[in-house]
Copies of this chain bind each other. A is one copy, B any other.
């Protein structure tokens, strides 16, 4: 069998398993998730032995310490994976929920019922915990999943999948409901992306180049997270203490993540009074500052921002700062340079709060709160499989509900069309 045939065979099995999965009731799904957690704890040595192979290979290839850190399945990491499985078991099951029901003049009762999407294809880079996270969320939402992790984590991922499959089998659910693709070459991904007859959606998680490759080669719809060029706009009416607290939190609490602020927009009235103080606070927090001409006129030690800086996702302690004439200019700036990820306004003005919420075209828009809240857990979705910056199907953090779709159900008593 060539690689195309092998991948197709896995996908066909996933499709078959998805039909069985769609029918599994919540209690059985939860039992499987608890078994997975138990088996993961019991088989910690086996998982770590496989992880050791990956770690050794990574060290031989001279991969970075940060990379090796993300790859390592320490006792603590495994315990948090097991706890995550139990947490997913406790979340409400979205499948079968009737979200709305109405009655037609002819007596038909029409409703919308949540159903699984079918087969999810996950393509991700090297953190092996994604194998468990994605596996458990797809399972709970009644989907089958084909997992294609990074080649550097292949032994770890296969060990984790084996445990999940063992737990599925204790409940007589087809093991193919959760499969790790064992082929690690790029050709396997390319073949996977052609299988639109068997895979319903591809969710890639990783750097920009992975996302781009997936997007450009996929015949299957892709729900992806592109960049997080997030903005905080400080309005003329903002309270200084609140503005400073939110802007600092958005930048420095964890600068390397997608929901961290990259550009600060400051209304000129606020800037005239507070820019120097605000910049000083950022400097104390070790943030390198790049500003527009007006920012630099107010604080000469800010470096000069170039046009490119407004597009930049620094993911680091670097901040671009721009003074704007009014909220229109702030909204225009966001529309032009933003990435539809997260925007926050700090304001005491009722109309501006309302207008910013309506007009900022991003997956999460906040008033008087940090951009760092764009996260499934923080917003109350329970867990997230990723954040979508595409509008189709799902926009923003994706939890269990976002792994489902709805069909129409109709109760009649003999109605026909006239």
Residues in chain A within 8 A of chain B (CB atoms): 19, 22-23, 96, 102, 104, 108, 110, 113, 115, 117-118, 200-201, 216, 219, 221, 223, 239, 242, 245-246, 249-250, 253-254, 335, 353, 357-359, 361-370, 372-374, 378-380, 390-397, 405-417
Q: Are A365 and B396 neighbours in the complex by a CB distance under 8 Å? A: no
Pairs across A and B, CB under 8 Å, 8 listed: A19-B361, A22-B359, A117-B391, A201-B392, A245-B414, A249-B416, A366-B411, A379-B408
Task: Give, as a whole number of angstroms, the nearest-CB distance from A227 to chain B.
Answer: 14
Task: Give, as a whole number of angstroms, the nearest-CB distance from A95 to chain B.
Answer: 9
Q: Are A104 and B365 neighbours in the complex by a CB distance under 8 Å? A: no
Q: Are B365 and A417 neighbours in the complex by a CB distance under 8 Å? A: no
Q: Which residues of B contact A372 (CB under 8 A)?
A: 416-417
Smallest CB-CB separation from A222: which chain B residue? B221
In the bound complex, CA of A416 to CA of B243 (Å):
11
In the bound complex, CA of A391 to CA of B142 (Å):
14
Q: Known: A391-B405, A405-B395. Is A108-B369 also a contact (CB below 8 A)? A: yes
Q: Are A379 and B246 neighbours in the complex by a CB distance under 8 Å? A: no
Q: Are B380 and A415 neighbours in the complex by a CB distance under 8 Å? A: no
Q: Which residues of B contact A406 (CB under 8 A)?
A: 395-396
In the bound complex, CA of A357 to CA of B412 (Å):
12
Interface centre among A117, A397, A408, A412 (most CB of B within 10 A): A408
Smallest CB-CB separation from A259: which chain B residue? B417
Q: Are A412 and B96 neighbours in the complex by a CB distance under 8 Å? A: no
Q: Which residues of B contact A219 (CB under 8 A)?
A: 216
Q: Are B104 and A380 neighbours in the complex by a CB distance under 8 Å? A: yes
Q: Which residues of B contact A415 (CB under 8 A)?
A: 368-370, 373
Q: Are B412 and A365 neighbours in the complex by a CB distance under 8 Å? A: no
Q: Known: A22-B361, A357-B113, A364-B407. Is A416-B379 also a contact (CB below 8 A)? A: no
Task: Give, as a whole number of angstroms, the nearest-CB distance from A112 to chain B.
Answer: 9
